[in-house]
Amino acid sequence: MTLTPSPGLSFSTPVAKGWVPELSHPPDHQRLASMDELERAYESLAAWCRARGYAGSDPFDGLNSELFQATPLRHSRAARLVWTQVFKRSPVNLRGLARVPVGRNAKGTALFALAALARFRMLRTEAAEREARSLLDDLWNERLEGWSGAAWGYNFDWQSRSFYAPRGTPVIVPTAFAVRALCEAARIFKDERYVRASRSACEFILRDLHRSIETDDEVCFSYSPIDRTRVFNASLLAGEALASVSSLTGEETLRRLALRAARYVTRRQRADGSWAYGAEEYQSWADNFHTAFVLTSLARMMAAGMAETAELAPVLRRGYDFWRAHFFLADGRPKYYYNKSYPACAHSVGAGVIACLELQEIDSAAPEFAEKIARWAIRNLRDHRQGFFYYQRRRFYTVRTPYMRWSQAWMLYALARLLEESKKSQAHGNAETRA
């Protein structure tokens, strides 16, 4: 079930200057037509993903190339970094030429499970429940063994500027999204197995991740057990996981640690309301979807029972105001960076829609803006013949590679949540009419 603010929780703070919601409520017939458009997009995308067993390519999977792995270059940090970026940035898909196989990605599975859970909440059918439980089973089976608790990683070797993570390295981002799916499943199905599974992942966070920074009232979790990076959205995702599990188990120690993780990130918000990607000088950029991750995690932590809302809510408000004002155009098109108009990325669309829906307590117009973002993507990033979503629209061309985790999983999650919220809104309106 979707997390909602606990009784008495208020996000209300003075509205920051910089933007004013421009949205007006469309007539009912236009809204119904819009929902039909979203439903068709969801159904065709879901069918496309199912037909491929939820397996596909990823922007960062270049090091899975059989060609690259057959050369001594695989031992070179510089070569791994350049090879990865070439595949990520290329306007054409090089994977067939370089023999990069498709695969299942654990974070993608978690996002598909979240989409299926939203679909079940909306439809309440046996078929929807079977699909959700099947994806949750897949997710559990994709966990990595040999750690203090359940953990998930990426299905490719990954070279960043900070560190190298071979395939099979557990990392916090897919682990946190797995916990999000498991916690939602526990609430929906009242199934203790999902509680135990999500609690197991907390042991990985508590025992295996480094605490790159730790004071009496702050903590920053590392990205993986093999680094000591300070990446704000990643550390906060660990905090979200702890807070969500604590709301199920009642463990105050988890809640307090989650609060310390929240404080580490909120106290490093810039004066304009933005966040850098991380604490190092070379991590000083701010982008759309990582900002959306921070906002969503903060909102979900507060909704999970974080009592310190007076401390966190103003930070969330400032961050949301900056994000809405600087990362989107009036027609809903997302910007990757706040100071550049291109590229527009399906990943930013999906994360943006989810953030808007999680933050509707701050801005009652946020769900309507979420629809605008989704409609822009449907009309500008979607392959209308097959139903999948393109990677990016750049200034002079569109990169049409259909990445499974990066684009399809996020868009399916976003569309499922939008349709769920629309049905709830319609039911609420009907109830008010009858009253």
Contact 121, 151 (CB under 8 A): no
- Bigger pLDDT: 60 or 425? 60
* Closest-CA residue to 414 (of 337, 353, 355): 353
Residue recorded with tokens 């702050």: 218
Q: What does the pLDDT look like over 89-100, one tens digit per residue? A: 999 999 999 999
* Closest-CA residue to 403 (of 73, 45, 153, 149): 45
For the entire predicted model, the pTM comes to: 0.91
428 pLDDT above the threshold of 80: no
Residue type present at position 275: W
Q: What's the pLDDT score for residue 430?
A: 59
Rg over CA atoms, the chain:
21
Rounded Cα distance between 113 and 18, Å, is: 37
78 pLDDT above the threshold of 70: yes
Can you tell me whether residue 330 is helix, strand or coil?
Answer: coil
Q: What's the pLDDT score for residue 22?
A: 46
Going 189 to 191 to 193 to 197, the CA torsion angle's sign is positive
Write down the architecture of domain 28-61+103-434 according to CATH: Alpha/alpha barrel (1.50)
* Closest-CA residue to 191 (of 239, 255, 140): 140
Residue type present at position 428: H
6 pLDDT above the threshold of 50: no
434 pLDDT above the threshold of 70: no
Calculate the average pLDDT of the chain: 92
Q: Give the number of other CB atoms < 10 A from CB of residue 164.
A: 15
Compute the residue count for the chain.
Answer: 435
Rounded Cα distance between 366 and 223, Å, is: 30
Pull the structure tokens for residue 58: 């990823």
- Mean local confidence (pLDDT), 403-409: 98
Q: What's the pLDDT score for residue 25?
A: 53
What share of the chain in percent tops pLDDT 90?
87
- The residue ranges of every structural domain in the chain are 28-61+103-434
Rounded Cα distance between 117 and 347, Å, is: 20
